[in-house]
Amino acid sequence: MTDYSLLSRQLEALLDTRDWLTNTAQTCAFIQQEIPNLNWAGFYLQRLPEQLVLGPFQGKPACNPIPFNKGVCGAAARTRQTQRIEDVHAVADHIACDAASRSELVVPIVVDGRLWGVLDLDSPIPGRFSVDDQAGIEALVEVFKACSDLVA
């Protein structure tokens, strides 16, 4: 089992600048290295109205941009609720950037009441993300937020 409390402490130590760009790059590289069975880990940023723009990531080249009204990332942006998808094939408007992806977790990042972006994780294993994984990864997002200067 992944020790998310250890990972939170390690991530906090890793993020030794307030620069959000550096910290997004480090955070997704850290997650990809430390959390097993992921084929993609990265950020989409809100830089255009009602659209998510691809940010730093680990994995194959990905879809860009993603409108708020499409896909799992769009749902996270719209609802500002974490999307934990056991089987991406069961989601009608799932955007398949990589056919290998079978399950997905998307955590919205909200700063001062505004959506800043999302953290998106994909796995080739169906049902990869448990409720405990969701809580652990949401905690990692909180570390990223606390360690970074994020302009809303």
Q: Is 84 in the site for ligand SME (CB under 6 A)?
A: no
Nearer to ligand SME by Cβ, of 15 and 97: the residue is 97
Q: Is 95 in the site for ligand SME (CB under 6 A)?
A: yes
Q: Is 7 in the site for ligand SME (CB under 6 A)?
A: no
Q: Is 94 in the site for ligand SME (CB under 6 A)?
A: yes
Give the long-range contacts of residues 141-145, CB within 8 A, separation 24 or more. Answer: 141/107, 141/109, 143/8, 143/11, 143/12, 143/15, 144/11, 144/15, 144/23, 144/24, 144/27, 144/109, 144/119, 145/109, 145/111
Chain residues in the site for ligand SME (CB under 6 A):
40, 62-63, 66, 71-74, 94-95, 97, 101, 104, 120, 122
